[in-house]
């Protein structure tokens, strides 16, 4: 495989890096101190700038208004954007909208594309994805209690979801619900588009996560579907194909997350180095960076980030060339490996900052709080490790 970066992509990555540095990082103190909604006007201005630079929606297909980058190319862009928590949102390639665009593009009807996909790609509306349930194990998503029962020309949905990221302010949800309880395990559930203003779509609360309930895009909601009635034409893809479509969504989505985490890891490493160079710890002028423990952390973090980046690019390359199914083990491996690498580096960087690291005067405490979840969502570490190990054991038992 060849990871040579073309001049075009290098130029794009450089432009994005400059933009993040000049336009988004200066907004972070407000991002940390204020309600996210208060930032929306200034973020819209930044989004207009991104559109003018023709860097809007880097991973979305060209025919619906994106840049149409390959997964490998988008991986590189995603790392540059990941340096700031605002990056993906301002360039419009944030989860869960990015995944919803992909599945609407691949599985939506013409009517669904007109009504939901086109305005979503243009940034006129937002969406969310409601699969995980309060009383069921998200780690085994075939265990769903939410049902969608046919009644006349409609589905009537009942169920209790949570962790529906960005539901607050979203125009529609893609909900996973059991439509075919008699079918085989993986054919029981379907994806259904539910406009959030439908009666019976009840946003109970934004869940406080690590002490912060957030708002609008930066929030995770608990949703109660109570007799929520939507037309059957809101079914996305064939009935009973919810898990098949979910698989399409999760492979590339994990590359996006991993590359974003690499951007976070790289920023944390740079903050660690800056602090190590500047913090004087003895009267003779020695700095933190003169201490071997800190040097070890810097060297180890650099090596770990580089290894994680190469593994992630390799997975993206496999998906681009052979499809997500062929890259299954690779995707699972990077999912737990990169999440832990990023968490470890953020932890070291915070430690190097001492008391300052615990404050919101740097972005590190935000990363520490919010990115801990990387080891849980899109498959917990243990589940990915177990599935990789099982396949290796099966393969070796045959040889
Ligand atoms: C910040 C955040 C955002 C999220 N966004 C969304 C979203 O937008 N939409 C959505 O539908 N969901 C979302 N989720 C939910 C997420 O996908 C689930 O939390 C995840 O799948 C785990 O499910 P669970 O919480 O029910 O944990 P459980 O399934 O109860 O598992 C709990 C723990 O048990 C362990 N475990 C589970 N299974 C095994 C096993 N087989 N072997 C060993 N150990 C195991 C793991 O350590 C796991 O963390 C989000 C979660 C978070 C934290």
The DSSP result for 203-239, as a single string, is EEEEPPBTTB--BTTB-EEEEEEEEEEEEGGGEESST
Residue 79's contacts (CB-CB under 8 Å, 6 or more residues apart) are 259, 260, 262, 263, 266, 309
Burial class (CB in 10 A: 0-12, 13-18, 19+), 41: exposed
Tokens of 61: 């297909």
**Residue 105: CA count within 13 A, CB half-sphere:** 21
Closest C-alpha to 56, from 27, 90, 31, 83: 90
Identify the residue with better confidence: 247 or 383: 383
* pTM, two decimal places: 0.95
- How many percent of the chain have pLDDT more than 70? 100
Closest C-alpha to 94, from 44, 165, 171, 33: 165
Residue 146 has pLDDT above 90, yes or no: yes
Q: Are the folds of 7-102 and 243-398 the same?
A: no
Average pLDDT of the residues in 312-334: 91
- Ligand 1 centroid to Cα of residue 169, in Å, is 23
Query: What is the DSSP secondary-structure string of 260-317?
Result: HHHHHHHHHHHHHHHHHHH-B-STT--BGGGSHHHHHHHHHHHHHHHHHHHHHHHHHH
Could you tell me what percentage of the chain is helix, strand and coil, using 3-state DSSP and rounding each to the nearest 5? 55, 15, 30
Using alpha carbons, list the distances in angstroms from residue 278 to 36, 271, 275, 297, 337: 32, 11, 5, 16, 31
Predicted pLDDT of residue 250: 78
Residue 252 has pLDDT above 90, yes or no: no
Structural domain 7-102, CATH architecture: Orthogonal Bundle (1.10)
**Residue 125: CA count within 13 A, CB half-sphere:** 18
Predicted pLDDT of residue 251: 76
Distance CA(90)–CA(367), nearest Å, equals: 18
Distance CA(301)–CA(171), nearest Å, equals: 40
Distance CA(191)–CA(195), nearest Å, equals: 13
Start-to-end CA span in the chain (Å)? 27
Predicted pLDDT of residue 320: 87
Residue 364 has pLDDT above 80, yes or no: yes
- In CATH, which superfamily holds the domain spanning 243-398? Butyryl-CoA Dehydrogenase, subunit A, domain 3 (1.20.140.10)
375 CB near ligand 1 (under 6 Å): no
* Structure confidence by residue, pLDDT tens digits, 177-191: 999 999 999 999 999
* Structure confidence by residue, pLDDT tens digits, 119-145: 999 999 999 999 999 999 999 999 999
206 CB near ligand 1 (under 6 Å): no
Long-range CB pairs of 386-389 (<8 Å, 24+ gap) are: 387/332, 388/329, 388/332, 388/333
Tokens of 300: 């180890």
* Structure confidence by residue, pLDDT tens digits, 42-51: 999 999 999 9
Residue 1 has pLDDT above 80, yes or no: no
Q: 261 near 82, Cβ under 8 Å?
A: yes
* Structure confidence by residue, pLDDT tens digits, 204-251: 999 999 999 999 999 999 999 999 999 999 999 999 999 999 987 777
In the chain, where the domains are located: 7-102, 127-236, 243-398
The mean of the pLDDT values for the chain is 96
186 CB near ligand 1 (under 6 Å): no
Residue 266 has pLDDT above 90, yes or no: yes
Predicted pLDDT of residue 249: 75
Atom of ligand 1 nearest to the CA of 166: 8
21: helix, strand or coil: helix
Closest C-alpha to 311, from 343, 337, 286, 288: 337
Atom of ligand 1 nearest to the CA of 209: 1
* Structure confidence by residue, pLDDT tens digits, 65-119: 899 999 889 999 999 999 999 999 999 999 999 999 999 999 999 999 999 999 9
Angle between helices 242-278 and 71-82 (to 10 degrees): 40
Query: What is the DSSP secondary-structure string of 77-126?
Result: HHHHHHTSTTHHHHHT--TTHHHHHHHHHHH--HHHIIIIIHHHHTTSS-
Res. 312 pLDDT band, cuts 50 70 90: very high
Predicted pLDDT of residue 254: 87
Choose which CATH entry (3.50.50.60, 3.30.360.10, 2.40.110.10, 3.10.450.50) describes domain 127-236.
Answer: 2.40.110.10
Shortest-distance Cα residue to atom 19 of ligand 1: 377
Shortest-distance Cα residue to atom 30 of ligand 1: 137
18 CB near ligand 1 (under 6 Å): no
382 CB near ligand 1 (under 6 Å): yes
130 CB near ligand 1 (under 6 Å): yes
Predicted pLDDT of residue 120: 97
Residues 154-163 as b or e (16 or more Cβ within 10 Å = b): bbbbbbbbbb
* Structure confidence by residue, pLDDT tens digits, 384-394: 999 999 999 99
Residue 76's contacts (CB-CB under 8 Å, 6 or more residues apart) are 5, 9, 13, 259, 313
127 CB near ligand 1 (under 6 Å): no
Tokens of 119: 């305005």
């Amino acid at each position: 495989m060849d990871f040579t970066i073309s001049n075009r992509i290098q130029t794009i990555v450089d432009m994005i890096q400059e933009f993040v540095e000049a336009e988004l990082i200066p907004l972070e103190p407000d991002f940390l101190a204020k309600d996210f909604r208060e930032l929306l006007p200034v973020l819209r201005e930044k989004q207009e700038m991104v559109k003018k630079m023709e860097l809007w929606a880097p991973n979305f297909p060209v025919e619906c208004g994106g840049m149409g980058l390959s997964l490998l190319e988008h991986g590189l862009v995603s790392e540059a954007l990941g340096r700031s928590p605002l990056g993906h949102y301002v360039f419009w390639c944030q989860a869960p909208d990015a995944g919803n665009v992909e599945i609407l593009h691949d599985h939506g009807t013409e009517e669904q594309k007109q009504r939901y996909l086109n305005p979503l790609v243009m940034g006129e509306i937002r969406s969310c994805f409601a699969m995980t349930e309060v009383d069921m194990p998200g780690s085994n998503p075939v265990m769903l209690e939410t049902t969608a029962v046919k009644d006349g020309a409609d589905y009537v949905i009942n169920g209790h979801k949570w962790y529906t990221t960005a539901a607050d302010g979203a125009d529609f949800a893609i909900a996973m619900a059991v439509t075919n309880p008699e079918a085989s395990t993986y054919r029981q559930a379907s994806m259904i588009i539910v406009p959030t203003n439908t009666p019976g779509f009840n946003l109970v609360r934004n869940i406080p996560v690590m002490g912060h309930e957030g708002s609008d895009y930066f929030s995770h909601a608990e949703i109660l579907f109570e007799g929520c009635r939507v037309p059957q034409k809101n079914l996305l893809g064939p009935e009973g194909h919810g898990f098949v479509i979910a698989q399409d969504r999760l492979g590339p989505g994990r590359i996006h997350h991993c590359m974003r985490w690499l951007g976070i890891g790289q920023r944390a490493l740079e903050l660690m180095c800056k602090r190590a160079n500047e913090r004087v710890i003895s009267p003779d002028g020695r700095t933190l960076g003169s201490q071997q423990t800190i040097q070890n952390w810097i060297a180890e973090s650099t090596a770990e980030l580089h290894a994680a980046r190469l593994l992630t690019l390799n997975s993206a390359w496999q998906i681009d060339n052979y499809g997500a199914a062929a890259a299954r083990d690779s995707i699972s491996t990077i999912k737990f490996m990169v999440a832990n690498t990023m968490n470890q580096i953020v932890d070291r960087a915070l430690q190097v900052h001492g008391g300052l690291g615990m404050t919101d005067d740097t972005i590190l405490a935000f990363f520490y709080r919010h990115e801990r979840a990387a080891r849980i969502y899109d498959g917990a570490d243990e589940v990915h490790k177990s599935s990789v190990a099982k396949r290796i054991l099966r393969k070796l038992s045959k040889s």
